[in-house]
């Protein structure tokens, strides 16, 4: 896994970032990248307690403040408590990364209402209410909200239709929040493609997936993290945008 490589100047020194789902996988890479840019970082987790504690240790090793807060972001009250906890423990909030999400195989003819509702609650309702709480906390100072969409927002996957709906909703949520919160808060989204596969993903399936990508290879978590860092530090005239980090997969 290639780490994110910051530039010579740390652009987020003195800022505080919150990464939901920040204990593992792409969320962990994002948290570490923001810390490498100088931000103090809070990570939210639900079940990955051991991993969250290790990620906090790794963040602190980069010379920043770091905390882990357990929260089920699908619950609006929990989202409010999460942001309040960040304000209490780190003093401010400048960047929210709505990364927490679930991906469940849901064939159309067998998807249950409970599966559908849980996907929407975590992947779409969670980002909305975390953003609402964060916008209040950012106050007049303003800040950045970065949503993690997905190439699945624009590419139909027959066995994952509810997931695609939730991520398409995140794309529209990004545009709606950008319009509603301007000019105080800038809201953008990153849409990763295949940047991290499960360790047990079959080798032949990996090869087939890579062959469908115009760049001819899979990405890495650091690719998505670099895009997040761009939106966290870019000119504030950039808002309402979705940057697909997918090797060109969304273009074909």
**Residues that are catalytic:** 163
Cα–Cα distance measured from residue 112 to residue 44, given in angstroms and rounded to the nearest whole number: 28
Instruction: Point out which residues pair with 70 in neighbouring strands.
Output: 45
CA dihedral sign of residues 114, 198, 130, 46: positive
Supply φ then ψ for residue 40, to 5 degrees. -75, 140
The Cα-based distances of 49 to 18, 40, 67 in angstroms read 16, 19, 12
CB 133 within 8 A of CB 83: yes
Cα–Cα distance measured from residue 95 to residue 31, given in angstroms and rounded to the nearest whole number: 11
End-to-end CA distance of the chain: 26
Residues 6 or more apart in contact with residue 183 via CB below 8 angstroms: 142, 236
């Amino acid at each position: 896994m290639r780490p994110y490589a910051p530039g010579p100047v740390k652009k987020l020194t003195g800022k505080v970032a919150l990464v939901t789902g920040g204990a593992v996988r792409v969320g962990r890479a994002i948290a570490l990248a923001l810390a490498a840019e100088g931000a103090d970082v809070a990570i939210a987790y639900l079940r990955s307690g051991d991993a969250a504690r290790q990620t906090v240790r790794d963040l602190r090793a980069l010379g920043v403040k770091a905390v882990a807060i357990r929260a089920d972001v699908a619950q609006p009250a929990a989202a409010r408590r999460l942001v309040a906890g960040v304000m209490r423990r780190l003093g401010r909030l400048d960047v929210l990364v709505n990364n927490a999400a679930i991906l469940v195989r849901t064939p159309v003819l067998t998807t249950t209402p409970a599966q559908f509702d849980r996907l929407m609650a975590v992947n779409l309702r969670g980002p909305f209410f975390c953003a609402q709480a964060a916008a209040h906390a950012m106050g007049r100072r303003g800040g950045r909200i970065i949503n993690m969409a997905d190439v699945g927002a624009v590419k139909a996957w027959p066995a994952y239709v509810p997931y695609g709906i939730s991520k398409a909703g995140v794309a529209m949520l990004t545009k709606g929040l950008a319009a509603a919160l301007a000019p105080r808060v800038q809201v953008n989204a990153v849409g990763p493609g295949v940047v991290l596969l499960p360790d047990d993903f079959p080798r032949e399936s990996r090869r087939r997936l890579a062959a469908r990508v115009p760049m001819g290879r899979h990405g890495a978590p650091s690719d998505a993290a670099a895009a997040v860092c761009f939106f966290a530090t870019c000119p504030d005239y950039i808002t309402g945008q979705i940057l697909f980090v997918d090797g060109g997969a969304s273009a074909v």
